[in-house]
Amino acid sequence: MSKLVTIYGGSGFVGRYIARRMAKAGWRVRVAVRRPNEAIFVKPYGVVGQVEPVLCNIRDDASVASVMTGADAVVNCVGILAKKGKNTFGAVQSEGAARIARIAAQSGVQQMVHISAIGADVVSDSDYARTKGEGEAAVLEHMPNAVILRPSIVFGPEDDFFNRFAGMSRLGPVLPVVGAATQFQPVYVDDVAHAAELALTTDVDTGVYELGGPDVRTFRVLMTTMLGVIRRRRSIVNIPFPIASLMGFTFDMINAASLGLVPAQITRDQVRNLRNDNIVADGAKGFDTLGIKPVALESVLPEYLWRFRPSGQYDAIKESAKNLRA
């Protein structure tokens, strides 16, 4: 019988790509999510019955253990960018990761891949980065042979970065950003999934891998690149960190007062993160170690950002029409 992998958060942005790759590799895939009915789209990744979404709450031991039954490997893709209700940074990224790793060790699971993030640090002043670091420490405590993947900002058709700012560019002549000089090393989502696949299917060294694309660029340059792809002219305005922190505080208060009904456009914790560069550290193991050549940003962005162009899919046709001679 083929091997079974349980992917926690397997219907999320990164998780769905890992699920697809593991199905193509011949594994049975159990996609553990909070709302299985909203994850039906993963079933066609394999043959009938090969990929199945199942209900799981990573805040509960019994729930985590039940979907791990019989698994040869586990992957943890669960993470949040902002707390919501009971899903706080600590509950999800620290305690949740620890729970999955602990139960995996108790269940005799042989392999584990944990998706973390560049900047994970147990002493960070950012709740996001601190709990990511705590999650890594807990995973290695219970599963010392685990592979931890730390991607920089991840891009792809379902991303919440370029899609978000491309959408914002429709609203007016100004595109505001926080931390315009902060450096990023954007990585294609399927390259991250490829790394996870290799960690499960080949004999790679255990430990931490930092994953970044072929280019390092500032936030401002990334926005300039995006605007070029969607063919819009906008003034990129940097919001100074003190003002951004005040904005984050205001949005946090509005979100809390509305009991989470009004989402924060930016949080104080996100502002803290944007103060730090998000690039692969010198000497860190990464794509080179795994033998993966990461995909460049420009080769992927036009495939999914075309809908934000002034005329959408017809923009290129209109440009070509201008060159026609009567």
What residue spans define the domains of the chain?
4-155+186-214+279-295
Residue range 287-317, pLDDT digits in tens? 999 999 999 999 999 999 999 999 777 666 7
Question: What's the CA angle centered on 294, arms 312 and 119, to 5 degrees?
Answer: 95
pLDDT grade, residue 22 (50/70/90)? very high
Distance (Å, rounded) from C-alpha 286 to C-alpha 291?
9
φ and ψ at residue 188, rounded to 5 degrees? -70, 135
C-beta of residue 16 within 8 angstroms of C-beta of residue 40: no
Residue 325 has pLDDT above 60, yes or no: no
First to last CA, the chain: 66
Residue range 87-130, pLDDT digits in tens? 899 999 999 999 999 999 999 999 999 999 999 999 999 999 99
Q: Look at residue 299 in the predicted model and tell me its pLDDT.
A: 95
98-107, 232-241, 247-256: least confidently modelled range:
247-256
Mean pLDDT score, 7-16? 96
Residue range 30-57, pLDDT digits in tens? 999 999 999 999 999 999 999 999 999 9
**HSE-up of residue 134 (Cα within 13 Å, Cβ side):** 20
C-beta of residue 145 within 8 angstroms of C-beta of residue 206: yes
Residue range 182-210, pLDDT digits in tens? 999 999 999 999 999 999 999 999 999 99
* 240-278 per-residue burial string, b: 16 or more CB within 10 A, e: under 16: eeeebbebbeebbeebeeeeeeeebebbbbbbbbbebbb
Average pLDDT, the chain: 94
pLDDT grade, residue 324 (50/70/90)? low
Residue ranges of E strands in 205-287: 207-211, 217-218, 235-239
pLDDT grade, residue 4 (50/70/90)? very high
C-beta of residue 146 within 8 angstroms of C-beta of residue 140: yes
Sign for the pseudo-dihedral over CA of 100, 10, 34, 45: negative
Residues whose CB falls within 8 Å of the CB of residue 120, separated by 6 or more in sequence, listed in order: 129, 132, 133, 135, 136, 150
CATH classification for the domain delimited by 4-155+186-214+279-295, as one of 3.40.50.1000, 3.40.50.720, 3.30.565.10, 3.90.1150.10:
3.40.50.720
